[in-house]
Structures are given as structure tokens and as C-alpha cells.
Chains A and B, each alone.
Chain A
Amino acid sequence: MQADIFTRRRNGGLLFFTLLTVLTTGSIVITRYDVLKGFTSIFRAFAWGAANFYPDAGAMTKLPDILLKLKETVLMSVASTTVAAIFAMFLALAGSSTTGLCSLSGIITRGVASIFRNIPLVAWAMVLMLAFSQSELTGYLALFFGSLGFLTRAFIETIDEVSNKPVEALQATGASYFQVVFQAVLPAGMPQLSSWLLFMVDTNIRDATLVGLLTGTGIGFSFDLYYKSMNFHAASLVVILIVITVIVVEMISNYVRRVIM
């Protein structure tokens, strides 16, 4: 009986590693991934980075331009997140099982949120580019649509988790729908909801780089410009500033979370 368990464990392990090997080989073949080149490029990249990827005096002259784009990008991330959060809040109230109007509205909202969440950011960027071209609005809207699905889902989960008991109590006192929302759902869920909002701002600053690259806006555009013109000193300055911004925003987020929780 005991031998049995050990054999089963071993067979299970064997099966797992066989499967892993097959999938790995398959992936390497199908993606034409050059294993040797992949691994050697790591060291080459570091060597190259040490030799070329640092800001020099010439790059510093670009600093004012880059900072302007950075400010634009941060504001874009904050604003698109906040606006998406407002819309997501309405959707989440309709979709939550505690505050929803009926079970149908819950199913529909969750479905819509899931679709929005899974449409790639790239697709939004491409579509918006066509009509809005290289304007700031393209970036705003791409981030807005990208955040909307994620926030709706996160908000629904938060509302369900945090407020179904107080909601029951307030309904029992004869409170109206909006009274319940403002007196129970929001006070109980606010810290958690804000935490998601901060998380999304953080994510959006990083995604804004991607969207910027694709649509020619914000900090992503700056990077692309220097990168494509092989001005790697300036490009490295952009990366350093993004790193600093993301870490600072994360520190602020953590501080705010600590205080309001």
C-alpha cells in the first residue's frame, strides 16, 4: 500500500516533467526561439547596457522635454483611471449581487466587464488611432477602456465581499436604494475601492508607455523617438525617469493605503 503511494508520486512527477518537456520543445519550435541566442543575448545585453545605456551630458539637455512628456503621461494615467473608476462604480453597483437590480443585470455586467478586460490594449490603441490620430485623447481613451473592465470586475468583487451584511441591515430599516449605497456600500468599501484605484494608476503609468509607443503620445513616444534614432543615452534617461516615477507612485500608494485602511 505504501509502495503504491510512492510509485504514484513518481509516475505523477514523471508525467508532469514529460508534459513540460513536450510543451517546451513545442513552444521553442513553433516560436522559432533560438535558445542559444536567447541565453547569450542576456550577457551581451548587459555588456551593451553598461557601455551605452546610461544618460550622458547630451541626454541631460533633453531632460525638460522628457519631464514634460512624463508629466503628461502621469496625468493621463491618473485621469483615465479616475474617469474609468466612476463608470466602473455604476457598472459594479448594477452588477453586484448585493446592490444589483436583478440577476440578469449581474450576468450582463459581468459579461461586459470580462469582454472589456480581455480585448487587448493594443486593439483599443489601434482602433482609436484611426479616428483620433496622434492626439493625447487616443492615449486617454485607450487607457480608459483598458481600465474599465478590470476596475468593474474588481469593484464588483469588493462590493460583494465588503457590504452584503450592512446592506441587509439598512434595507431592513427602510432605507432607500441610494441611501444604502451612500451610507453602507461606499463607507464600507471605500478603502478597498481606493486601493484598486491606486493599483490601476500604477499599472496605467506602465501601460501608458506601451500605448504611447503605439500611438505616438506621452513618454512612450519620447522613448521610441530616442530609441529609433539610436540616441540610447537619452532613451536610458527616459527609462530611469519612468522607474523613479513608478517607484514614487508606488510609495505614495502604499502610504495612502496604510493611512486609509
Chain B
Amino acid sequence: MIKFEEPIDIWGQISPEHGYTVHGAAGALPFKPLNRQALAMRIFLLVISLLTIYALLTIDYRSVDVAKAAADTLNNLKIIFLQPDTHRLSLRDAFYEVVITMGLAFLTTLFGGVIAFFLGLLGARNLAPKQVTNIVKGFVAFIRAVPTILWVLIFAVAAGLGSAAAVIGMTFHSVSYLTKAYAESFEELDRSVIEALSASGANWWQIVFQAVIPSAATSILSWTFLRYEINFANAVAMGAAAGAAGIGFDLFMAGGYYFDLREVGLITYIILAFAMALEAVATGLKGRIRQNPR
């Protein structure tokens, strides 16, 4: 029960005209304690601003005429977005290449999803012992720390540049992302349900297939699709940087080899259309799941 700490008659002494003065309290603002969060926030902002300023000051601006380059870029962007055109690549070819990219993304998501499914079971706190979940977490963190492009290139040494290296290399990050997402989806099932089932004599796999998967199915499918959206973008990038097939490679050739801005424009528009369609579906799905694993 909260009590009034001041006698009620104090209200008689305060009114807008008197400026709410309370007798005996004049000039006695209490000492302000140190606010740790606010201080940390300020230090963080200060450090990141200083780093930024230092970085911007140490850029080598001499090697390039910035004003001219900026004007050129603006002009190039104008050509790209206002005059897209087909040269080497017909519209039909371009769509076919996008389908290839989507195929790469699909295979990556599928392989990633299957592996992540098992790792997710081992990474869910309600299904696996703590030591196991920690090992899974460490493994996933390591995978994530190596950029996707490097995974792809490392595998390209063994498998040669092409779709095999791209799919396997991209699968790594999908595994890491989906393992985390799946494990969190599995964890949403209450421990008491698992307890009830094991009390009735069900073994671990029976519990997984009869209780865990049915209850997590919706969010698993949603997460998988969200990853598919990311993999599509990745597949474009890998096409360009690692010579994997698909629209990304065409983009790289048009931009970096033939310097054909109009074709870059066309390819960009096509990718943009597909990516935004995927994004629209993904946004709809996001409402069905709780939070973003990073």
C-alpha cells in the first residue's frame, strides 16, 4: 500500500499563483547520482564519432578527383536508371539467369535448412544439455565470422569456380543463421509439454516429431523463407565475386568488363523487381515470428 508522504494540508499552500513552493524545501535539490547507462551511451557515441572523424580524415583523397568522380557517378546513375537497355543479354536470357540465381539460393537454403534442423535441435536449451548447446553456439559464431565470399573462394580451390563451390560456400552462413532461428523456435515450446510427454514414456525423437516440430512448423517455414531472401541477394553477390552462374555474373561482366551502363541498369531493375517481391512476402511473414536472430 502506497502512503501519502506529505500531509494533505500541504495542498492548501500550493497553487499556480504561488509557484508550488513548499516551505523549508527551498534550494535543496538532492545530489544527482551517476547514471551508468547514460554515461556509457555518451562514451559509446563519443568513441564511434572520433573513429569516424579519424577515418574520414585519413582517407586518401588525392588519388581521385572527388568532385569529378561524384559528378560522373551521378551521371552514370542517371544512365543506369533512366536508360536501361539490352545489348548482349536479351530480356529472356536475363530472366533465365535470375531463375538460375534463384535456383542457387534455393539449393543453399535447402542444404542449410536440413543441416540447421539437426543443429537447431542440439542448440535448443529445452532439448539438449547445456554443454551441447554451448558447443553449437560456438560453432555457429565461428562460421558467421568468416565472410560468405571467403567460404565460397576456399571451396572453389577444391571444387573449382562454379555452382558447386557457390552453393556449398553459401550454405555455411545459412546453417549458422537458421540454426539460431530454429533453436529459438524450438525453445518456444514449453518445458512442461516435453515433461508431460516424457512422463508418458515417449522418447526424445518421438517428442521432437510429435510435439516440437508441429508447434514450431510455422515459424520454421517463415525463418527459412527469410533466409531464402538473404540467399538470393548472396547468390547475386557470389555470381559477381566468385564467378558462380546467374544474374550476378552478368552484372559483373556488364559493369566491370564491358562498362555497359545501360545493361547494368536493366539487370539492376530485374534484380530489384525480384528482390522487392521477395521482401514483400518476407514482411508479411515477419508478423508470424517473434524476433530477429542476428
- Complex Cα spacing A250 to B176, Å: 15
B residues less than 8 Å from A140 (CB atoms): 59
Count, chain A residues at interface, CB 8 A: 73
A133-169 vs B, CB cutoff 8 Å, 1 = contact: the mask equals: 1011100110000000000000000000000000000
Q: How many whole Å from B291's CB to the nearest CB in chain A? A: 12
User: Restricting to B151-165, which residues have a CB under 8 Å from any CB of A?
Assistant: 153-155, 157-159, 162-165
Known: A31-B104, A34-B164, A213-B241. A190 touches B155 (CB 8 A): no
Q: How many whole Å from B149's CB to the nearest CB in chain A? A: 5
A209-240 vs B, CB cutoff 8 Å, 1 = contact: the mask equals: 11001100000100100010000100000010
20 inter-chain pairs at a CB distance below 8 angstroms, sorted by A residue, are: A30-B103, A32-B163, A42-B168, A75-B58, A115-B272, A119-B268, A120-B271, A120-B275, A121-B237, A127-B76, A127-B264, A206-B147, A209-B149, A209-B150, A214-B241, A223-B153, A239-B154, A250-B145, A256-B44, A259-B36
B73-106 vs A, CB cutoff 8 Å, 1 = contact: the mask equals: 1001100100000000000000000011011101
Q: How many whole Å from A83's CB to the nearest CB in chain B? A: 7
A residues less than 8 Å from B36 (CB atoms): 259
For B51, B52, B252, B259, the residue with the greatest tally of chain A CB atoms inside 10 Å of its CB is: B52
A83 and B52 contact, CB distance less than 8 A = yes
Known: A41-B158, A123-B255, A126-B252. A26 touches B237 (CB 8 A): no
User: Restricting to B220-238, which residues have a CB under 8 Å from any CB of A?
Assistant: 233, 236-237
Confirm or deny: B125 has a beta carbon within 8 angstroms of a beta carbon on chain A. Answer: no
A191 and B55 contact, CB distance less than 8 A = no
Using CB atoms and an 8 Å cutoff, list the residues of chain A in contact with chain B. 20, 23-24, 26-28, 30-34, 37-38, 41-42, 44-45, 48-49, 53, 75-76, 78-79, 82-83, 114-115, 117-123, 126-133, 135-137, 140-141, 190-191, 194, 197, 199, 206-207, 209-210, 213-214, 220, 223, 227, 232, 239, 242-243, 246-247, 250, 256, 259-261
The DSSP consensus for interface residues of chain B is helix
Q: How many whole Å from A220's CB to the nearest CB in chain B? A: 8
B51 and A123 contact, CB distance less than 8 A = no
B44 and A130 contact, CB distance less than 8 A = no
Known: A41-B155, A79-B55, A118-B279. A194 touches B272 (CB 8 A): no
